[in-house]
Amino acid sequence: DEDNSFDERRIRENGCEGDITATLIWNSKHDLDLHCIDPNGEEIMYSHKKSRSGGVLDVDMNVGVTSMEPVENICWKKTPPNGKYQFAVRYFSRRDGNPGSVSYQLLISHGQNSKVINGVLNSIGEKQFVYEFNYPN
């Protein structure tokens, strides 16, 4: 069951879990990045890992050392602020000369809800906004 691989990878990398948790997985050495814009308009990403609202990108993989089973993870360890959350996935860089496209899966849990988004990134620099919701819902 696919939810297991989300949890297995997040736990393997000591990723946090909270009222809002977003876990991105893919199966290549390419570098994908998970982004979240919180209700204050602050963007959590590889170059800005902690927001004032308490969100943290605590697992950022395939930057230097590469894995064929990477994961990225953002969570709120304390109560998240109310409002709109927007999640995006970005194709940061390609590794090892494989063809361009990278398939990914993103699991987002908020409150009692959870959603898996399946997507494909085709070109370097491409950023897809894939899910948004209001918290609490």
Query: What is the per-residue pLDDT across 39-93, written as a single tens digit (0 to 9) for each?
Result: 999 999 999 999 999 999 999 999 888 899 999 999 998 999 999 999 999 999 9
Sorted by sequence, the CB contacts under 8 Å of residue 34 that are 6+ apart come out as 22, 24, 45, 57, 72, 73, 74, 87, 88, 89, 106
Distance CA(99)–CA(84), nearest Å, equals 35
Tell me whether strands 127-135 and 83-93 are parallel, antiparallel or unpaired: antiparallel
132 has a pLDDT exceeding 90: yes
Q: Report the pLDDT value the prediction gives residue 65, as an integer from 0 to 100.
A: 80
Token pair in block for residue 57: 């990108």
Q: Cβ–Cβ contacts within 10 Å for residue 23, how many?
A: 26
Average pLDDT over residues 18-41: 97
Q: Cβ–Cβ contacts within 10 Å for residue 78, how many?
A: 10
1 has a pLDDT exceeding 80: no
21 has a pLDDT exceeding 80: yes
Using omega within 30 degrees of 0 as the cis cutoff, is the peptide bond preceding 136 cis?
A: yes
pLDDT-above-90 percentage for the chain: 87
Global pTM reads 0.95
* Residue 34 vs residue 1, higher pLDDT: 34
Matching residue, tokens 């998970």? 34
